[in-house]
Amino acid sequence: MIDYIILFTASFFLVGLLGLQSKNVQNSQYYMAALTSIAISVANFVFVKLVATGGIGLMVAGSAGGACGIIVAIYAHDHLLSRKNPWKLLGLWFCKKKKL
């Protein structure tokens, strides 16, 4: 049972982070794109490690986690992180969008 919870969580974060990464790249947010890449690597490692040994039940748990993750990522970006200085919410004041 714990494998299902871990896989759901890993998939939730993996897909959610990929969605946020897309928004970071689209908006040229360099620092957040770099930090998100690190988090994606960790989530991907956990996801692959569990999926490689799992069956159909783990696939369902991973799929559900991914679906929930992308919904939360889109909502979070559009409603919480789209303010003037969104990263101030996280204490990441240095991650403002850089204009070149």
pLDDT tens track for 3-13: 889 889 988 99
How big is the chain by its Cα radius of gyration, in Å?
15
Among 51, 49, 40, smallest CA distance to 13 is for 40
Percent of the chain with pLDDT strictly greater than 70? 80
Phi-psi region of 28 (alpha: psi -120 to 50; beta: other; left: phi over 0): left
- The answer to whether 6 and 50 are in contact (CB under 8 A) is yes
Task: Give this prediction's pTM.
Answer: 0.70
What pLDDT digit, counting tens, does each position of 16-33 carry?
999 989 988 888 888 888
Residue 57 CB burial class (10 angstroms; 0-12, 13-18, ≥19): exposed
Mean per-residue pLDDT for 36-48? Answer: 89
